[in-house]
Structure 1
Amino acid sequence: MRKFSLLLIASGVFSLSSFAQDGESYSDKYTTWSAGVDVGLNHFYGDLYGFYPESNIDGRNLGFGASLYATKWFSHLIGVSGNLGINQFQGKRVDAYFTAFDMNAGVDLQVNVSSLINKGSYKESKWSWIPYGGVGLSSSMPRIYDANDNIIVDRTERHNEIIVRGGLLVKYKLNSSWDLDMRYLGTMMVLSDWSDNVESGTAFDGTNHIRIGVTYNFGASDDKPSIVYARPINDLAVTVQELDDKVTAMTTDSDGDGVADAMDKDNETPEGYVVDGSGVAMDVDRDGVADDIDQDPFTPRGAQVDATGREMDDDGDGVPNSRDQEPNSKEGAMVNFQGREIKSGMGGDMANAFLPDVFFGFNSARVTSANEQRLLTIAKIMMANEDVKFEVIGHADPVGSEKYNLNLSERRAQAAVDVLVNTYGISADRFTVTGKGEGAQVGNNNSINRRVEFRLMD
């Protein structure tokens, strides 16, 4: 975490160019010019100074001052400010005091340290902390008075000084155009300690200022704020976080389906489901039921299915609704592949009766619940037509040896007969079990080749 923070600070310092991170110039993205005014109290310290503890003179501790500022920012971090000011200074010692009216001008280099602070947000801050330092010129006419307000020391010409200055400016964003300023300023006379008309040689004269003011940001708006509230480190931190999130998403698979979250369109796929490249559970027949729970994964396109993927068969004749031309066949009626009832007994059209196949899983002879519905159709036919007998023919796909597949196909046929005998009470004498092994393939779809067929016996 510490290395990450240092990286952000280093990146912010490195960005002392005239361009923002996204290539826009600062003048395009932010306002960089402003003007302000402040007022406040002044405290003088020198041979005479405010709050002299042993003075017999009341008051004369603080003066009043006001300044005008014009500021140009070259980046979110560095700006230059020019200023003009007028100040009243006062100070005292045991039995005397002085006053001076001072005019000054200066230029300061400003460093917006708050622009290097990361708060993890895109939004500009409403606060800005700006240390500054510079040089200036001061011109004053100090006079010293005794306790009775008589002039003791007067001057016939102004006292001019070079000063060094520095302090801290705290800004608060009132709205898009206006700022509230709170400023501390300290100055020191460079050439002499004559500013109070007394030169002791022991120390340079200096001043302290506490000010409050306002600043107007030229051209500022909600879409183009003042640059002093810009937080490029925040943007960089968010960018780094977004990249980290993307990397995490590319390496994280929340639902364990083998597709990374970043590309997974369904992050809640049940465990064990087979999915496509987008992380969506496979649905070969596109009936809306995932293959892993689809008990009939080869329903025709657009067919109406139940929650288990089985095609609806309202009259239970074994012919699904999508192909049933007589959707109201009576229970146990023998029908053809179109769902039409066969009425000519055991001859003639009986050979065209529709008899559903039963399908099995790979290397399995277990009858699933989906196939129990198909066997129910066979059972109804046999219970309604007591003379009907069936040859039950088992098949297998070509995977494995011929001998093994022959045995598997026989077991599948026998499993279907066992359900009809044990569940529906059909006599075993009405069935003949045959195994074809892999000798009667239907195309290349092994799911269909793993089946049991029913054929009418004469």
Structure 2
Amino acid sequence: MARVKALALLISAKYLHMNRFLTFICFLLLTSISFSSIAQIDFANLKEEQIYRKGNKYNTWALTLGYGPVTYYVDVIDYTVFPKSDWKFGPTIMLSKQFNRPWGLDAQFMMADMYGQKNTRYFKGDLLDFSLNVTFSINQLVLFGPIKDKWDIYGKIGFGLTYFRSKQYRLTEGSYTNPDGTIELLHPGDVLKVKHVYDYNFGYPDAYGWDREDYLAVGYERSGVGAPDSKTDRKNEIVIPFGVGVKYRINKNFDIGSEVMLRNLNADNLDVNLTGADNDGYMYTSFNLTYKIGRKNKRHAVWTYKDFNMEYKRLRQNDPLAIRLDSIRSEIKYLAAQDSLAGDTTTIYTESIIYQEGISESVFFDFDKSDITKRSERTLAKLARVMKSNEQIRIRIVGYCDERGSEAYNLALSKRRCMSVLNTMVNQFKIPADRFQIDPRGESEMLSDTKKLQPYGLHLVNRRVDMFVIVE
């Protein structure tokens, strides 16, 4: 009964510390997502090189060197979270390929020494770890680009193999050696003794293939001539790595960063202790320097932003109203070639069949906002230049909202948006107010019906002000 209780306690302790670290990794992941969610991206002021456009060339390869501590979670350890002493460190090298903004693949190699002690024994050895990992940028998936153009938070999950050698020793009081100075390796019978009816003791069950006189060693001869110092082939086990990391962009060539990876094995013999209650594992925390391979004048794909203009064009193909509008625009362009009201490179087209007015420009607004953005200011500046070159032009300012909110509230919001455009044209660009008419229409005429076109309907195109040339 005592033996059963002891085994139950061992199982409980093993699952406890593994679950703590699974919780720890989940906490890191949730923290990364939370950090991403509060970051603001000014898409209106992005440079051309920052936008990921289909067909453009970007740097996609990178080489990373790293170094950091390795924490082992096996049976022969005297800690639950972090070692109290005898920390082990190891280097790593990664070759990465980025397929698009969020998704990539890396091949990783790392190596480290191993050590752990518990009660009267300890183990030591070394390992080589090879893995292939899928990487995904969390902020690219959540925010569609790097955070503040400097930070990238990512997750990794993969598959690999660990090749290791290790031995288990007796830990004598105050020393790793016997009184005569020799180091004593353990035998199976020294670790777990079971009393049988035949009145002899043995350690690991025969099914493990261990004799009572074998040394507890993996990757070395366990018995016979040269044991236990003669090396044999390393033991290999499947490893499943997963974790999170963060990168900081120094420039187009270099990044620095850190990642935390928990690597779980499919076996329980990393410490040569085959009677454990759960599979072994280890956590590798590395501090990294990344060199982005490729042309020096191009960005790496992971440091670019989503092209919303391309997405908008794709979604318009499924919008019947947009298709009709594009057809009207084609006719207007033909008419404009015959009789243009424009100067320089900006053209205000006239059309009298449907609106009795010419479509000139549109500006868009954030949800529940009426502020003029910098991009919208540039649009209004083009219109102001044309109006100054032709003082006969008068403009109708027509404001719209999406359907979220009450009808009365949306009508008032569309009026505020019209007034924001009017005030900008009058106060900033000095166009007389009597050359404008405002026409707030609320949610009455949506360009994209987000209810009928779910999930392809776009709220953004409904939050706008259109400016038309008034035809007398």
Provide the TM-score with structure 2 as the length reference. Answer: 0.45
Q: Which has the higher helix share?
A: 2
> What TM-score comes out, normalization by structure 1 length?
0.46
Which structure has more relative contact order (CA 8 Å, sep 6+)? It is: 2
